[in-house]
Structure 1
Amino acid sequence: MTNNNPYNLIPLQPTGRNETDSGNTYSPEDMIKIYEQQFLTPVPEDKLTEFLPFLKGFYDIDKNTLDICAVVFDAIADFCIIYNHKVKVGGYEILGGLVKEELAEEEAEKDNEGNKNEEAQAYTLECTRTFFINDVEMPYQFNLFIHGDSYSTLTRKESLLEKTYWFVSGGFEDNLLGHLEDNESLESINEQLASLGIREMDLTTIHEIVDYVENSIIDDDMVDALNKLLDNAE
């Protein structure tokens, strides 16, 4: 490992040489750190072509080692890297109990005509899920609407992550309704991110993170807990 370290990479202790003795090997935990640094290290644009060879040289690894890092990262880590931002799913909390909801008349008629969900009851439930962006805790509170085997969510507009969701998902609708002043701007979101020590995001990054959040707010553990609540309610 070289002592030259202009990118402030983390010094790590190799566990030995690989099978062809062409590069160092590292523990799975350290391989994840190397993989993260490959994508999370701020690098000037004019240095991008130099950075990867430097990373390999700093840890004395070869291309195969980086490939293994990616496999290990996907296999044992519960977070992902989205355009230079590490996003991790945290725990959930169910706030209060199920609230029985009356279906709109047209929806009930539609169900009866199609003989689907004829006896299904609708409920709402307040929930929160914690996310981490670059290890900064970001709460995400939402109202869960459950009807039969289907569900939908309506997110609050209080925390920064919730405001970011509405910036992405509510922009078109608010534009039609003339409510743009209620939405955050890209500049204001980045100002709030910067105050938390999170680097700037462009529109593509914000869209990817919102998609990740929406796909991750309900997990298997939460589904099991919800099913128990629904069984008790029935």
Structure 2
Amino acid sequence: MTKDNPYNFLPLQPTGRNETDNVNTYAPEDMIKIYEQQFLTQVPEDQLTDFLPALKRFYDIDNNTLDISAVIFDAIADATIIYNHKVKAGGYQIVGSLVTEQIEVDGDEEGDESLDNQAYTIDCMRTFFINDIEIPYHFNLFIQGDGYSTLTEKNTVLEKIYWLVNTGFEEPVLGHFEDDSDNIASLASINEELISLGIREMDLNTIHQLVNYIEDNLIDEDMADTLNTLIDDAE
């Protein structure tokens, strides 16, 4: 931190000047870095009004540059910004073997051929990154027909965040865990764990948005193809 760079902005090399020669231009990947810093730099409350002008002075840019940076980020970045946290989905692992489950069908539904009583379970893991810090997310996947549900463990901070948001919801169909809502981590304990990992604390709104992101990115096309191959081989 220096007097000329009080917020520890990342030095970036401009590619030139704009058509009116009043601000710098940057390569798309560097504009993404500028956009990220706009939201990820920790700023004391009494300096909030000074921060954005300081960022624009440091890079010699204007509001139009920031707007373009946001568009580029949305278009090509493989991460998202959730209330001052950069979140990204990482790779997946199939941890266990495919297990065949037989689902009981009620007597009055036995003649309904549209019902699929064949189901499978398999242990999986996907990693997520929060501000470039890798965190695993373990879950048991239940697959029946075209539908699926997940049962998440309660060990890593992401798994604890999921259960904090979903406390009070019905247990998934597998029922591997007993009702132990008293064991659900509190927001305070989750924030303590986040801070210990070097991640700034989150409020409830941020945590709900994070869980939405996890659920939307838990199973991608590559993982679905792998699972479909395993099911085809089992059948």
Which TM-score applies when normalising by structure 2? 0.89
**What amino acid maps onto 1:59 in structure 2?**
Y
Alpha-carbon distance between aligned partners in 2 of 1:35 and 1:104, rounded to the nearest angstrom? 53
Q: For 1:76-87, list aligned pairs within 5 A.
A: 76-87=76-87
Deviation >6 Å, runs of 4+:
none
> Match of 2:192?
191
Task: Give the corresponding residue for 1:47.
Answer: 47
- Alpha-carbon shift at residue 133 of structure 1 (Å): 0.8
Amino acid corresponding to residue 34 of structure 1 in structure 2: I
Per-residue CA shift, 1:7-66, capped at 9, x if unaligned?
111111101011222210111121111000000011222332322222111111111211
> Which runs of no fewer than 5 residues in structure 1 stay unpaired?
none
2:99 corresponding residue in structure 1: 99
Alpha-carbon separation, structure 1, partners of 2:139 and 2:89: 15
Inter-CA distance 90–20: structure 2 relative to 1 (3 Å threshold): same
Q: How does 1:70-219 map to 2 (within 5 A)?
A: 70-106=70-106, 110=109, 112-113=111-112, 115-118=113-116, 121-171=118-168, 179-219=180-220
CA distance in 2, matches of 1:183, 1:18: 53
Name the amino acid aligned to 2:210.
Answer: I
**1:32 corresponding residue in structure 2:** 32
- Residue 203 of structure 2 aligns with an amino acid whose one-letter code is D
Structure 2: state its 5+ residue gaps.
172-177
Distance in structure 2 (CA, Å) of the matches to 1:162 and 1:127: 13
Give, as a single letter, the amino acid of the residue that structure 2 aligns with 1:233: A
For the Cα contact (< 8 Å) 1:171–1:183, is it kept in 2? Answer: no
Aligned residues: 228
Amino acid at match of 1:13: Q
1:185-228 deviations in Å (ceiling 9; x for gaps): 11110111111111111111111111111111100111111111
TM-score, structure 1 normalization: 0.90
RMSD: 2.2
1:100–1:122 Cα contact (<8 Å) kept = yes
| Cα distance in 1 between the residues matched to 2:102 and 2:185 | 33
SS in 1 for 2:74: helix
Contact 1:24–1:59 (CA under 8 A) maintained in structure 2? yes
Contact kept? 2:128, 2:137, Cα under 8 Å: yes
Tell which deviates more after alignment, 38-47 or 160-169.
Answer: 38-47
Q: What residue is the counterpart of 2:175 in the other structure?
A: none
Write the distance in 2 (CA, Å) between the matches of 1:21 and 1:125.
59
Deviation, 1:179, is 4.2
Using the alignment, how far apart are the partners of 1:110 and 1:208 within structure 2? Answer: 39
Report the counterpart of residue 174 of structure 2 in structure 1.
Answer: none
Q: Distance in 2 between matches of 1:201 and 1:124?
A: 33
- Structure 1 pair 51/172, CA: closer, same or farther in 2 (3 Å)? same
For residues 98 and 50 of structure 2, the distance between their equivalents in structure 1, rounded to whole angstroms, comes to 56
Q: Percent identity?
A: 65
Once residues 159 and 85 of structure 2 are traced to their aligned partners in structure 1, the CA distance between those partners, rounded to angstroms, is 17
The superposition leaves residues 85-135 of structure 1 with CA deviations (integer Å, 9 ceiling, x where unpaired) of 1111100001222111011333x854743x4234x6210111000001111
